[in-house]
Amino acid sequence: MPPKKIPMRMCVGCREMHPKKELLRIVRTSDGKTVADSTGKVSGRGAYICPKKECFDKARKIRGIERALEVDISDEVFESLREGIDESDR
């Protein structure tokens, strides 16, 4: 059997390619909110990040999420996304 091609995405924190299903999707919704999308079904512009605090810290430093989604992210929103990752961890 030929190996299946795994969809890869780049983490906006460490800038490395990882299988899409191992990454957390962050979406800018049509009403301008920035939310973590654990289902992969929220519509809107999306960015991918490793579900690790380390990558959130890097993303914050290099403004990776802001650049990918073309939004400004407040400290509160950033913290809530960062704090949410432990629960969304498999």
CB of 36 to Zn ion, least distance (A): 15
For Zn ion, the closer of residues 13 and 28 by Cβ is: 13
CB of 19 to Zn ion, least distance (A): 12
Measure Cα distances from 47 to 4, 13, 18 in Å.
23, 10, 13
Query: Where does this chain bind Zn ion (CB under 5 A)?
Result: 11, 13-14, 50, 55
User: Tokens representing 59?
Assistant: 């993303």
For Zn ion, the closer of residues 11 and 85 by Cβ is: 11
